[in-house]
Structure 1
Amino acid sequence: MRRSGPAVEQLIGALIPRPLPRPIPTPAPLPNLPPPRAPTGPNRIELDVARLVRAGRCSARTLLHQLDWRPEHRLVVDVADGTILIQRHPGGRVLTDPRGALTLPAAPRQLCGICGGDRIVLAADLTRDRMTVYPMTVVVRLLAEHHARLADGRRGR
């Protein structure tokens, strides 16, 4: 006696072969990577990114602390190749802020094309006791040149 209703399809075993037994592959060994090196040596540089407020201030507390630039230290500000160079000097006109802020004078900001609200990269050279302020336009240009060199080097292989 047959049931009435939709017919149930059954697969034919001869048309669908059974999977072959295969051994489970062993994973490839991971390479031994060298441990990360701590930044030591003659050129120890620490980086930070900050946003400049309209008055020309940015937070630089961590880098000021690492440079051991205490509140009321006098700084000399100069411009070179589109960047702002800052060094501690007894005759400097700019003072470090007790709250950990760094004030960049208007003239160097204008020469480097930095406006209020812009992001900047701060690089503290701990061995030379100075800080360099990079506008994002300079950072982007340097990275573009670096990536172009990488791409050209890979084409030659």
Structure 2
Amino acid sequence: MNLGRLRPRWPDEQLVEALVPTPLPVASLEPVPLPTLPAPAARTGDGVLFDVGLPDAAGRVTARALLRALGWAPGLTLHVDVVTSAILITLAAEGAHVVGTREELPLPAAARHLCGIATGEPALLAALPRQNRIVVHPSNTIAAVLADLHARILGEPS
């Protein structure tokens, strides 16, 4: 062992060769190649934007991000309809409803009742920019769709 490269810390200190460990050889490390990631799954969203809203007692649901993404400003007139247990909101020059000043969407009582959307319960809002529409889904529909999906993932009969 070469004690010449080790220096005592104190002037009267002496190194004892038997107590100084021999340095281990250092192997040269070669980089390990990164694993190949699988190709990303095909996106089926087709540019659909999502948000979750809680309808208030008056049936309004705030949807700032979705409205801004579609370019819908407060005061814009809308047509609201129920289609297959969901609320479909489209632009309409002669619409009976308007985008609220606080960037909220109106969900009329009759439409909420037909779809099973209750005050304070979450609803999934899906903006379809290519069609310039918003679809509002009740939480019970989303829960049923996810229950079916989870059953398939877990291999359970539906």
- TM-score between the two structures when normalised by the length of structure 1: 0.71
- Equivalent position amino acid for 2:117 in 1: I
Unaligned runs of 5+ in 2: 1-31
Whether the 8 Å CA contact 1:75–1:92 is kept in 2: the answer is yes
Query: Where does 1:46-125 land on structure 2 (aligned, <5 Å)?
Result: 46-125=49-128
| SS of match in other structure, 2:155 | helix
Distance 1:64 1:35 in 2: 33
The 1:104–1:43 alpha-carbon spacing in structure 2 relative to 1, beyond 3 Å, is same
Distance 1:32 1:139 in 2: 35
2:37 equivalent among 33, 36, 41: 33
2:132 equivalent among 129, 134, 149: 129
Distance 1:69 1:58 in 2: 14
The 1:146–1:53 alpha-carbon spacing in structure 2 relative to 1, beyond 3 Å, is same
Identical pairs, percent:
39
- Equivalent position amino acid for 2:146 in 1: L
Aligned length: 127
- Equivalent position amino acid for 2:37 in 1: L
Q: CA deviation at 1:100?
A: 0.9
Whether the 8 Å CA contact 1:42–1:127 is kept in 2: the answer is no
Larger Rg: 2
Identify the residue that residue 46 of structure 2 maps to in structure 1.
43
Bigger shift: 97-106 or 135-144? 97-106
Q: CA deviation at 1:144?
A: 1.1
Distance 2:54 2:39 in 1: 33
Distance 2:125 2:109 in 1: 17
2:141 equivalent among 135, 138, 148: 138
The 1:89–1:143 alpha-carbon spacing in structure 2 relative to 1, beyond 3 Å, is same
Two-structure CA RMSD over aligned residues (Å): 2.9
Whether the 8 Å CA contact 1:69–1:96 is kept in 2: the answer is yes
Unaligned runs of 5+ in 1: 1-27
